[in-house]
Amino acid sequence: MNPLLHLDYIPALESLGDDFYDLVAAAEFPQHRLRFRNDDLLARLGLEQAAISDGHFIAAFGQFRGREPFLALRYHGYQFGQYNPFLGDGRGFLYGQVRGIDGELYDLGTKGSGPTPYSRGGDGRLTLKGGVREVLAAEALHALGVTTSRTLSLVETGEALWRGDEPSPTRSSVMVRFSRSHIRFGSFERLHYHDRPDLMAKLLEHVIDVYYPGPRLYRDRPERFLAFYDELVDRVAALAAQWMAVGFCHGVLNTDNMSITAESFDYGPYAFIDRYDPSFTAAYFDHGGRYSYGNQPGICQLNLKALQTPLADLMAAADLEQLLTSYPKRYEQHYQTRMLAKLGLTSLTQNLPQDLAQDLVSETLTLLEAMAVGYHDFFLALTQQFSPQWRDQSEAIFATSLAASHPEAAHQLDTWRRTYHRSLQSLPPEAMATAADQLGRTNPKIVLLRPNIEAIWEPITLTDDWQPFYQLLQDLQHPFAG
C-alpha cells in the first residue's frame, strides 16, 4: 500500500461539477528519478517520513498510478494586459485535494505532467531546470516568511525538450506543487466572459467556505461577498509587501498567476534582486518592464481592479471600488512593518513615533539606491555589525566598513545614520538586545541570487552531481542559522 494514495483526499473542486475543469490523463514518461521530496510537508499531511519510500513518491507523483480522475482547471487571464480566453491548465492538473493535520484543505497540483485541452500547441512538459528553479524559489520564500506554495516532489522524467530560453535539448521533469488553492483571478474572469453568474456565485461560495473563515461568518447574508473582497485586498497587499521586503521579483503577474487565496505561486522567470533597483525586471520577455520589482504593488492593485469586473456580476461595482481605495494604505502598513523588522525594530514599533518610522524606511531606500551595495548585503552588514552602543553614539553606526567604502553615498549615509540613531534612542536601552535578535531573525545570510542557481545547475549538467543543489536547498531552508 502506498500511503501517498491514501491521504485524506477530498474531491472539493470535483464536486462543484464539470463546468470548472476537464478530465485529463498523465503523460507516460520513459524514466523516473526522484530529485526532490519535501519531507517537511509530509509531516503536515500526517505522514511519517520513514514510512514513505522514494518508490512511493515515484509511483504516485511520477507514474501517476492509482489515483484518478485528474482535473485540468479552466481559467482565462490578462497576460501583459491582454485578455486571453485560451488559457487553463496547459501542462498540469489538480492531482487531488487533501486535508492537512491543521484541518486546512490543500491542493496537490502537477506541473509538466503532459498536454491537456489547454496546451495550445505546447508539449505540456516542464524542464528539469524549471522544476529545480521552482523548488528553490518556493523553499526560499517560505523560509523568509512569504505566503507561498511549496513543492512536494520533483521527478526527472528522461525526455529531451527543446526550449528557446535554455540550451537545448534540455532535461525534463514533473513536479507536484502543494498550495492552498489553484483557483485564480482568471477562474472568475472566465465565468464572466461566458456570462455565467450562476457558476461564479457557486465558485465564490466555495472559495469563501474553504479559504475565508472571516467572511464565512456572515453565513447567508449578502455582506459575505464584499467581506471576501475586502479580505482579499488586504491579503494581496500583504503579499506584495512580503515580496518587496524580501527583495523578490515574481516576474509574471498575469491574472492567471494570481491565486484567489493571495498565495504566491508559479515560479518561472523570477529573480531575487541583487542591488535595490525598482526598475529591475526578471522576465527576459517583459520588454516594457511591466512586472518589474518596483511595479509589483501597483500591478497587484491593477489585478484586484480587473477582478472587480467579474465580481460586479455578483455585487455592487461601487462597493468593490470603495474597498480597493484602501489598498495603497494597507500596502504601506504591511511594507513598513516588514521593513522595520529588517531594521531590527518591528516588535518595538509601539515605542517608535510613526513619522520617525516612515522617515527611517524611506531614507533606508534612498540610501540603498545611492549606495553601490547589495540589498541583502546591506541588511546582513547591519545585522552583523549592530551594537547596543549605536544607541548612545550616532558616529558608531556603520563606523567601519560601510562608511569608508561607500564615499558615493556619504551624504545619504549621514542622513540615514542620524534617523536610525533617533529611532534607537526612542527605545529604552534594554530594547537593544531585542533589536539585535530581530535583525538576526529577519535578514538572511544566504539569498537565492541568480549566480547561486547557475552554480548548482552546472554540476547537475556536467556530471549529474546533485549535492550542491541539496546543500543550497538546506541553506535556503535555514537562512538565519548559525
257 scored as a contact of Mg ion (CB under 5 A): yes
- 235-264: contacts with ligand AMP (CB under 6 A): 252, 257
Q: Does 118 bind ligand AMP (CB under 6 A)?
A: yes
User: Cell 455578483, residue?
Assistant: 314
In degrees and rounded to multiples of 5, residue 68 shows phi and psi of: -155, 165
Handedness of CA 34, 170, 448, 138 (dihedral sign): negative
Dihedral sign, CA of 249, 253, 256, 262?
positive
Residue 97 phi/psi, 5-degree rounding, is -120, 135
The kind and range of the H/E element at 153 are: strand 150-161
Q: Which is nearer to Mg ion, 215 or 269 (CB)?
A: 269
Question: Which of the choices Mg ion, ligand AMP, none does residue 131 contact, using the CB cut-off of 5 to 8 A by kind?
Answer: none
Report the C-alpha gap between 230 and 244 in whole angstroms.
Answer: 22
266 binds Mg ion (CB under 5 A): yes
Instruction: Pick the catalytic residue from 107, 230, 256, 475.
Output: 256
Q: Does residue number 125 form part of the binding site for ligand AMP (CB under 6 A)?
A: yes
Q: Residue 24: how many CA atoms within 13 Å on its side-chain side?
A: 29
Q: Is the peptide bond before 215 cis (omega within 30 degrees of 0)?
A: no
Total binding residues for Mg ion by CB under 5 A? 2
Q: Measured at CB, which residue is nearest to ligand AMP?
A: 122
Draw the binding track, 193-232, toward ligand AMP (x: CB under 6 A; -: no contact).
Answer: ----------------------------------------
Q: Does 189 bind Mg ion (CB under 5 A)?
A: no
In terms of CB distance, is 257 or 295 closer to Mg ion? 257
Q: Which of 180, 191, 185 is nearest to 16 (CA)?
A: 191
**Would you count residue 134 as binding ligand AMP (CB under 6 A)?**
no
Nearer CB in complex with ligand AMP: 88/444: 88
Cis peptide before 197 (omega within 30 of 0): no
The one of Mg ion, ligand AMP, none whose footprint includes residue 231, by CB under 5 to 8 A per kind, is none
The site map against ligand AMP for 70-109 (x = CB under 6 A) is: -----------------xxxxx------------------
Residue 97 β-bridge partners: 107
- Count of CB atoms situated within 10 Å of the CB of 205: 17
Contact 46, 6 (CB under 8 A): no
Is 259 in a helix, a strand, or coil? strand
From Mg ion, ligand AMP, none, which one binds at residue 252 (CB under 5 to 8 Å depending on kind)? ligand AMP
CB of 42 to ligand AMP, least distance (A): 27
Least distance (Å) between residue 266 CB and Mg ion: 4
Binding site partner of 90, from ligand AMP, Mg ion, none, Cβ cut-off 5-8 A by kind? ligand AMP
Give whichever of 164 and 451 is closer to ligand AMP, judged by the CB atom: 164
**Nine cell digits for residue 184:** 485564480
* Single-letter code of the amino acid located at 22: D
In the complex with ligand AMP, which residue's Cβ is closer, 85 or 213?
85
Position 336 contacts Mg ion (CB under 5 A): no
Extract the C-alpha cell encoding 178. 502543494
For residue 224, which phi and psi values (nearest 5 degrees)?
Answer: -55, -45
Q: Which residues contact 294 (CB under 8 A, 6 or more apart)?
A: 277, 278, 279, 280
Spatial neighbors of 386 by CB under 8 A, at least 6 apart, are 344, 435, 436, 439
Q: Which is nearer to Mg ion, 89 or 230 (CB)?
A: 89
The verdict on whether 54 is a catalytic residue reads no
CB of 149 to ligand AMP, least distance (A): 13
Among 14, 22, 123, 277, binds ligand AMP (CB under 6 A): 123
Q: Residue 279 burial (CB < 10 Å; 0-12/13-18/19+)?
A: exposed
Nearer to ligand AMP, 103 or 164 (CB): 164
Rule CB under 6 A: say whether 165 interacts with ligand AMP.
no
Q: Residue 268's binding partner, choosing from Mg ion, ligand AMP, none, with beta-carbon cut-off 5 to 8 A by kind?
A: ligand AMP
Please, which residue, 67 or 125, has the CB nearer to ligand AMP? Answer: 125
**CA 426 to the chain's CA centroid:** 35
What gap in Å lies between CA 172 and CA 91, rounded to an integer?
13
255 binds Mg ion (CB under 5 A): no
CA angle 69, 71, 75 (to 5 degrees): 170
Q: Which of 107, 189, 266, 363 binds ligand AMP (CB under 6 A)?
A: 266
Question: Contact region for Mg ion (CB under 5 A) — 11-19, 266-274, 334-342, 351-359?
Answer: 266-274
- Distance, in Å, from the CA atom of 177 to the CA atom of 172, rounded to the nearest integer, reads 16
Indicate which residues carry an active-site annotation. Answer: 256
Positions that interact with ligand AMP (CB under 6 A)? 87-91, 118-119, 122-125, 252, 257, 266, 268
Positions that interact with Mg ion (CB under 5 A)? 257, 266
